[in-house]
Chains A and B, each alone.
Chain A
Amino acid sequence: MQKKKQKIVAMLLAGGQGSRLNSLTKNLAKPAVPFGGKYRIIDFPLSNCTNSGIDTVGVLTQYQPLILNSYIGIGSAWDLDRKDGGVTVLPPYTASTEMKWYTGTASAIFQNLNYLQQYDPEYVLILSGDHIYKMNYELMLDYHIQKGADATVSVVQVPWEEANRFGILNTDNNHQVVEFDEKPKEPKSNLASMGIYIFNWKVLEAYLLMDEQNPNSSHDFGKDILPKMLQDQKDLFAYPFKGYWKDVGTVQSLWEANMDLLDDNNELDLFDQSWRIYSVNPNQPPQYISRDAIITNSLVNEGCTIEGNVIRTVVFQGVSIGKDSVIKDSVIMPDAIIEKGCYIENAIVSSGVKITAGSVIRPKEEGEILLVSDEMLEEMITN
């Protein structure tokens, strides 16, 4: 059935496992990983969509989708429960002739061409559910239109010494892309792709159909689709993004991104009313800070009971921290219970974990971040 035509439709790739997050993604997809005291990673791209005026969003899920799917629901938390458009969860499916998993970013979109076709949009925005950032996609679309581009890739400047870890774009003075360099040994530029693309729909459709026929393709935007477009002399532009952007793909970077929020001058201002980050609100009572508690330089969410000492820590909803416990430089995920007299430093404590009275948890090596899960605690006891 043909739906009301949309100017732009966003496709959010949320099927990633995020294996480098270890046990955090054992039962849930990376975009559902908790962040910042009350959010999940996917709240950032979804809030960016709604704040940018994009109200038609397909969310492509594959790995461990239960928590993610029920979290997204009908999208009302992000005001994406709409009569026309709104949010649609797009899992892999069996067709009449075959069944296929999403094997690459492009194959995921290819398998949902019918979703895009029903809206017949002018533009398609491709997003990933792996990053923490605030971005006005409308400005990127204006840029894309103004440049007369076939495709626009959002880029961010990364430190030169790290450029070899990213997909690097080499551009001319007019920001037109001249070369893709996937993880270059000797980078010629430090403009890294953020995995955010705007395509003209007809161009994207043609290239996805073409790519599907190519048996040698890995069906990936960065490795196959965009280089092929460049080869065919399509107009590709880099959109320079300025602001906070962080891939939270590892335990270390997830911890760092949480700590960044505690910096007084952090760029990702969660208190900015003009660009709110929406999330599913747990509806719990205000946090209770007891007579014995000391809290400094921390973020604490509702439903918490704090009786201990919390220093430079991000505390999610429903956590209780007992008397005489000291929590330092850590992230405590929802509903964790920390009993009396514990000492925790440089750790991420997973959701619902119970830490018994008097436990001392800190990494062996300086600079290391300890991920505390039930399995890890069991191992600690047996050793």
Chain B
Amino acid sequence: MNKHLLGVIDATTHIEDLEELTSHRSVAAIPFGGRYRLIDFILSNMVNSGIQSVAIFPKFQYRSLMDHLGSGKNWDLNRKRDGLFFFPSPRLDKPIFGINSFEHFAENMDFLTRSTQEYCLISNANTIFNMDLSPLLDWHIDSNCDITEVQKNGRSINLFLVKTSLLLDLIHTRKETGYLNMKDVVTDLNSPYRVCHYSYEGYALTVDSISTYYAASMELLNREIWEKLFLQERPILTKVKDEPPTRYTSSAVVFNSMIANGAQIEGTVENSIIARGVHIAKGAVVKNSIIMQKTVIQENCVLEHAILDKDVKIEQGTTIIGTEQVPKILRKGSIVKGECVSS
């Protein structure tokens, strides 16, 4: 199935507004939904649609992304033929222009020329959606398009379908045409190509700022939305951890929350996303917050509208209050005692 479709994920995206979550990781590797990373959504969509060859082009801070993807085993991409390919940029100083930089692809032309797949799906790594991509290919062929751009409510979600041969042409001729990426091609009204727009009706949200990240996380608590994202027949796959089930003690009070395995809940949790291995001690109250992996919240802390990155330690009796518009963010590994209030 879909042996004629090649997946290309551009993980070079750097977004200024996400700086606090990306000082040590790429946008693609931002933790999401208690156990996922942003890249899991597009990668799972590709795999669930039968794509067996996926190339990932990362640039900045890709250690955590590589650690997450490993051999691709969790996505069933550890194959003898095809599978998962990783192409970090050989140069860090060269500026990368927006998404899907042809320059970056050009440095790995061999892979693209050697691939046998007739079509190529090019995507960003920071859209949260669960989409069956097979109908897209049929539609693209039936509509006789050169390039198909997927849109949600009329806005691009940076997902493009082209013939691999056309992509190669675009890369080869980038100096003459001035096209730096797929976006340049589809937005050029004078381009010689037949550009189509495929309207995607399902749930999709591109994370491009702290506020979209926070909003997308909170939307997960809406049953209608998580039921659209987490489908049994098209599961979102991620790196599995051998964590025990979540432990709720007799003092735990939890509602309207999404909680991952390995968490130990002794306090109160409300409208929050709690990741794997988090410990919330007795008397602590966590509301409208996102708590990432292995973070520890000690006794009698109060957290509201906060985003706590991995391995944060909140010492006893600390209060952290953010707002819905400006959630208080604590960087990976921070240790906090006392008060912390965002404007």
Give the interface of A toward B (CB within 8 A): 36-38, 76, 264, 270-271, 276-279, 281, 283-302, 310, 314-316
Q: Judging by beta carbons under 8 Å apart, are A289 and B257 in contact?
A: yes
| Extra inter-chain contacts (11) besides given A38-B261, A286-B34, A299-B245, CB under 8 Å | A37-B245, A270-B245, A276-B242, A284-B230, A285-B236, A286-B273, A287-B246, A288-B258, A299-B244, A302-B260, A310-B248
B202 within 8 A of A: no
B70 within 8 A of A: no
Contacts of A76 in B (CB 8 A): 73
Tell me the bound Cα distance from A278 to B226 in angstroms: 28
Contact size class for B?
35 or more
Known: A283-B235, A285-B226, A296-B250. A301 touches B256 (CB 8 A): no
Q: Judging by beta carbons under 8 Å apart, are B74 and A283 in contact?
A: yes
B58 within 8 A of A: no
Tell me the bound Cα distance from A300 to B243 in angstroms: 12
Contacts of A315 in B (CB 8 A): 245
Q: Judging by beta carbons under 8 Å apart, are B255 and A296 in contact?
A: no
Q: Judging by beta carbons under 8 Å apart, are B246 and A290 in contact?
A: no
Tell me the bound Cα distance from A85 to B252 in angstroms: 45
Q: Judging by beta carbons under 8 Å apart, are B242 and A277 in contact?
A: yes
Contacts of B35 in A (CB 8 A): 285-286, 302
Contacts of B256 in A (CB 8 A): 289-291
Q: Which of B237, B259, B262, B273 has the most CB of A within 10 A?
A: B259
Tell me the residues in window 26-54 of chain B with beta carbons closer than 8 Å to chain A beta carbons: 33-35
Q: Judging by beta carbons under 8 Å apart, are A288 and B246 in contact?
A: no
Q: Judging by beta carbons under 8 Å apart, are B245 and A286 in contact?
A: no
5 A–B contacts, CB within 8 A, in A order: A283-B74, A283-B235, A286-B258, A289-B255, A289-B258
Known: A288-B258, A296-B250, A297-B250. A38 touches B244 (CB 8 A): yes
| Cβ-neighbour of B33 out of A264, A276, A286 (below 8 A) | A286
User: What secondary structure prevails in chain B residues at the interface with A?
Assistant: loop
Tell me the bound Cα distance from A264 to B248 in angstroms: 10
| Cβ-neighbour of B262 out of A264, A271, A284 (below 8 A) | A271
In the complex, what residue of chain A is closest to B236 when comparing beta carbons? A285
Known: A271-B244, A296-B248, A315-B245. A285 touches B230 (CB 8 A): yes
The 10 A-B pairs with the shortest beta carbon distances in the complex, nearest first, are A37-B245, A281-B240, A270-B244, A286-B34, A285-B230, A301-B245, A286-B260, A299-B245, A297-B250, A286-B258
Q: Judging by beta carbons under 8 Å apart, are A297 and B255 in contact?
A: no
Q: Judging by beta carbons under 8 Å apart, are A36 and B245 in contact?
A: yes
Contacts of B273 in A (CB 8 A): 286
Known: A38-B244, A288-B223. A295 touches B238 (CB 8 A): no
Q: Judging by beta carbons under 8 Å apart, are A295 and B252 in contact?
A: yes
Contacts of A292 in B (CB 8 A): 255
Known: A38-B245, A297-B249, A301-B261. A283 touches B254 (CB 8 A): no
Q: Judging by beta carbons under 8 Å apart, are A293 and B254 in contact?
A: yes
Q: Which of A284, A287, A291 has the most CB of B within 10 A?
A: A287
B264 within 8 A of A: yes
Contacts of A298 in B (CB 8 A): 247-248
Contacts of A316 in B (CB 8 A): 245
Contact with A along B205-248 (1 / 0, CB 8 A): 00000000000000001010010011000011110111011111
In the complex, what residue of chain B is closest to A311 when comparing beta carbons? B250
Q: Judging by beta carbons under 8 Å apart, are B259 and A293 in contact?
A: no
Contacts of A310 in B (CB 8 A): 248
| Cβ-neighbour of A291 out of B226, B252, B255 (below 8 A) | B255
Contacts of B226 in A (CB 8 A): 285, 288
Tell me the bound Cα distance from A293 to B269 in angstroms: 12
Tell me the bound Cα distance from A284 to B260 in angstroms: 10
Tell me the bound Cα distance from A374 to B256 in angstroms: 31
Q: Judging by beta carbons under 8 Å apart, are B237 and A283 in contact?
A: yes
Tell me the bound Cα distance from A310 to B248 in angstroms: 10
Contact with A along B268-281 (1 / 0, CB 8 A): 00000110000000
A334 to chain B, nearest CB (A): 12
Known: A276-B242, A288-B223. A296 touches B230 (CB 8 A): no
Q: Judging by beta carbons under 8 Å apart, are A287 and B240 in contact?
A: no
In the complex, what residue of chain A is closest to B250 when comparing beta carbons? A297
Contacts of B252 in A (CB 8 A): 295-297
Contacts of A286 in B (CB 8 A): 33-35, 258-261, 273-274
Tell me the bound Cα distance from A37 to B255 in angstroms: 20
Contacts of A276 in B (CB 8 A): 242
Contacts of B261 in A (CB 8 A): 38, 286, 301-302
Tell me the bound Cα distance from A268 to B33 in angstroms: 29
Contacts of A38 in B (CB 8 A): 244-245, 261
Contacts of A284 in B (CB 8 A): 230, 235
Contacts of B74 in A (CB 8 A): 283
In the complex, what residue of chain A is closest to B265 when comparing beta carbons? A295
Contacts of A314 in B (CB 8 A): 245
Tell me the bound Cα distance from A164 to B2 in angstroms: 64
B220 to chain A, nearest CB (A): 9
In the complex, what residue of chain A is closest to B73 when comparing beta carbons? A76
In the complex, what residue of chain A is closest to B260 when comparing beta carbons? A286
In the complex, what residue of chain A is closest to B44 when comparing beta carbons? A283
Q: Judging by beta carbons under 8 Å apart, are B236 and A295 in contact?
A: no
Tell me the bound Cα distance from A211 to B150 in angstroms: 72
B77 to chain A, nearest CB (A): 14
Tell me the bound Cα distance from A278 to B242 in angstroms: 6
Q: Judging by beta carbons under 8 Å apart, are A301 and B246 in contact?
A: yes
| Cβ-neighbour of B245 out of A289, A297, A300 (below 8 A) | A300
| Cβ-neighbour of B238 out of A283, A288, A294, A296 (below 8 A) | A283
Contact with A along B308-339 (1 / 0, CB 8 A): 00000000000000000000000000000000
B153 to chain A, nearest CB (A): 25
